[in-house]
Amino acid sequence: MGLETRSAQQRAAPRLLGGSLAVWRGRPSPLGASWDGAGVNFALYSQHASRVELCLFDPKGRREIGRVELTERTDHVWHGYLPAARPGLLYGYRVHGPYAPAKGHRFNPNKLLLDPYAKRIAGELAWSDAQFGYRLGSRREDMAMDTRDSAGGMPKSMVIDDAFTWGHDKPPRVPWSDTVIYEAHVKGLTMRHPGVPEQLRGTYAGLACPAVVEHLKALGVTSLELMPVHTFVDDRHLVERGLRNYWGYNSIGFFAPDSRYSASGEIGEFKSMVRTLHDAGIEVILDVVFNHTAEGNHQGPMFSFKGIDNASYYRLMQGDERHYMDTTGCGNTLDSGSTAALRLIMDSLRYWITEMHVDGFRFDLASALGREPHGFDTRSSFFAVIRQDPVISGVKLIAEPWDVGDGGYQVGGFPTGWTEWNGKYRDVIRAYWKGEGGVIGELAYRLSGSSDLYAAGGRGPSASVNFVTAHDGFTLHDLVSYNDKHNEANGEDNRDGDSNNHSWNCGAEGPTDDPAVLQLREQQKRNLLATLFFSQGVPMLCAGDEMGRTQHGNNNAYCQDNEVSWLDWELDGPGEALLAFTQRLAALRSAHPLFRRRTFFRGIELEEDGAKDMQWLRPDGLEMTHAQWAESHARCLGVRLSGRGLAESDEKGRPINDDDLVLLFNAHHERIDFQLPPCDPPGWEVLIDTFEADGLPADAVPRNGGGSYPLQGRTMVLLRHQERAQALNA
């Protein structure tokens, strides 16, 4: 990721230096570096600074060629205007003020600092002790200031021109009820894709290639959720071990797309990717990390916020301001209740919506953002500001509803307007198909949209983002192939990563040639995927699971920027079959509004025959009783969904109807003959049977209502009322 030497960039600094370096008063808003066609306005927030210097660099970022003191200060914003500056100019800041760690102040003008509002960050970080504001090895009590200049090893902020021709680009605005999310890594998705030109692999441009878009469309994907693309830092300890922070949850530039994912080095490449995906009807959702930064704890490095105004940006321990409150497990926590940090977060979100045209955000460790001094609060400043913002409140907002602090697990606790990664869904679906007992009661809640979590707060099934796997943890293949994590490649003696995975290896740990084990693993994958697509709520598929991707038992591959993490597109027979099966699931979900309800089932009788909108069934075909939900041995149940019970209409107010559907679940290892519910006229058509390798039933004979279905061990089946379907279609 070298600095660019485009002619425009080369002209930026010399044209400036040819003059007298005169600085005009400028404006305090907007923050950051803003080019207006004639010059550049610079504005930096720092409440506690005593002096701010703007440092200018040569086109390669190696030599500081001038400094400009920003003497104007308005409402804690230091600002100035350089009339000769141009896009391509590289710059940074040196900020003066008290160095008093015990009081929360860590100003050190020897350290070059990135602009928190930089739209582009160029160059690589070259780790050295100079990146630390204190002298390493000094006594903890004083943490003496380090006076070495850090500029030589620091990346630089760059002035940009935001101009881009969007044409007729429009956000797809996919309704939540129709949304299918695909979580992917920019680099990992395309690094090994044979249909992506080699020079574009691993980049934003690679994501826009037809082969990738066609794959997403065939899966029914409506929303591509990208793991962090904000400029981030590779941790020093990883770099020294030859590893990288592959996942990118270590942000330092909340406005700048990371240039290591750019084939061209231009901001426009990201915008072109968004425009291409929009043309295909696919939304772009960004995974954003506003809960902490790459600067770590009191012993961490100084890149930006810590040196600009530590006390304004971070949550510090009351009465012990040397130390940081850490509800993230990453050393620090951004203070989303402070003026500086809250404005930064909101300005960043608006920028990515208005300038980059993204369609939503998934907030990493979102509970940390909703914390007030007394704990998590849905009335916090963060939620209140988003709720009233006409731009931000209009896009998809997804919370990872937990952090590592006390009271941080908030699944079901976020306010209206938010959806959530439903960790309870993941855990119970895994536990059920693993064969654990005593879970069918909670299973029913999760399959039906988790009304126990969301109904009381005024939200519907779409508040639940359902997932079985995500980037953090086992892949789908590894979930059914390993009992234990195998993270030795991370260099942490297998201590990292979660040890409680609800995984089951189906009889052999890791790779095996046992045909029975292999057959069962494929069957379990089909069970988990079918459950995901046929549950109420928003399904999220982790990239590669549809093809059986493996990380060889590594459930914390955050530092594996290699073939452990990159998707392998060369599929074997089972991989091709699983992909076709997943595509079929997506098509069935799209075809049946019953799987995409906007409101919860109510369990009410609809007609004189006693049929309900949703009816839970036991294997003898009768309705489940209250006592049976608590039976620890129960591992088999069914549910009948009535197409007459949608009670919903389309955009034009027309009633929505669907077939009657039945789902059968059997996590027991033996076959169970399940009595099918009565139907008039008789005839249930089998659409999916996960016991079969292709998911297709062994025969196409309709099953009569009141008859039994041979529900094989560890199998899931979907049936529809055939005669009713024909009548509706007519």
Distance between CA atoms of 14 and 7, rounded to whole angstroms? 11
Phi then psi dihedrals of residue 631, to 5 deg: -70, 125
Indicate the class that CATH gives domain 601-729: mainly beta
Question: Which fold is adopted by the domain 7-158?
Answer: Immunoglobulin-like (2.60.40)
Tokens describing residue 561: 């920027």
Phi then psi dihedrals of residue 465, to 5 deg: -85, 110
CA dihedral 585, 591, 596, 599 (to 10 degrees): -150
Residue 720 contacts residue 656 (beta carbons within 8 Å) = no
The helix or strand, by DSSP H or E, that contains position 226, with its residue range, turns out to be strand 223-226
pLDDT at 656: 79
Report which of 236, 12, 24 is spatially closest to residue 122, judged by C-alpha positions.
12
pLDDT at 426: 98
CA angle (688 as vertex; 443, 478 as ends), nearest 5? 60
Distance of CA 241 to the CA centre of its chain: 27
SS3 at position 78 = strand
Distance between CA atoms of 670 and 633, rounded to whole angstroms? 13
Does domain 176-471 correspond to CATH entry 3.20.20.80? Answer: yes
> Taking phi first (over 0 means left), then psi (-120 to 50 degrees means alpha), and beta for anything else, what does residue 10 get?
alpha
Report which of 288, 172, 289, 285 is spatially closest to residue 224, judged by C-alpha positions.
285
b/e code 343-366 from CB counts within 10 Å (16+ = b): ebbbbbbebbbeebbbbbbbbbbb
Residue 333 contacts residue 324 (beta carbons within 8 Å) = yes
pLDDT at 15: 46
For residue 267, count CB atoms less than 10 angstroms from its CB and return exposed for 0-12, middle for 13-18, buried for 19 or more.
Answer: buried
Distance between CA atoms of 178 and 253, rounded to whole angstroms? 33
Question: End-to-end distance of the chain based on CA atoms, in angstroms?
Answer: 60
> For 6-12, which contacts have Cβ atoms below 8 Å and span 24 or more sequence positions?
6/88, 6/265, 8/86, 8/87, 8/88, 9/59, 9/87, 9/88, 9/89, 9/90, 9/158, 10/59, 10/88, 11/86, 11/88, 12/59, 12/85, 12/86, 12/87, 12/88, 12/89, 12/159
For the chain, the domains span 7-158, 176-471, 601-729
Beta strand 419-421 with 396-399: parallel, antiparallel or unpaired? Answer: parallel
Beta strand 684-689 with 181-184: parallel, antiparallel or unpaired? Answer: unpaired
Q: What is the mean pLDDT of each run of 10 residues along the chain (730 residues)?
A: 41 46 93 97 98 97 95 98 96 98 97 98 97 84 87 98 96 97 98 98 98 98 98 97 97 98 97 98 98 97 98 96 96 97 98 98 98 94 97 98 96 98 98 96 97 97 98 98 97 95 97 98 98 98 98 98 97 97 97 95 69 91 92 94 76 81 97 92 91 84 80 97 61
SS3 at position 225 = strand
Domains 176-471 and 601-729 share a fold: no
Residue 616 contacts residue 624 (beta carbons within 8 Å) = yes
The helix or strand, by DSSP H or E, that contains position 728, with its residue range, turns out to be helix 722-729
Catalytic positions are 364, 400
Residue 240 contacts residue 302 (beta carbons within 8 Å) = no
pLDDT at 692: 95
Tokens describing residue 97: 């003020």
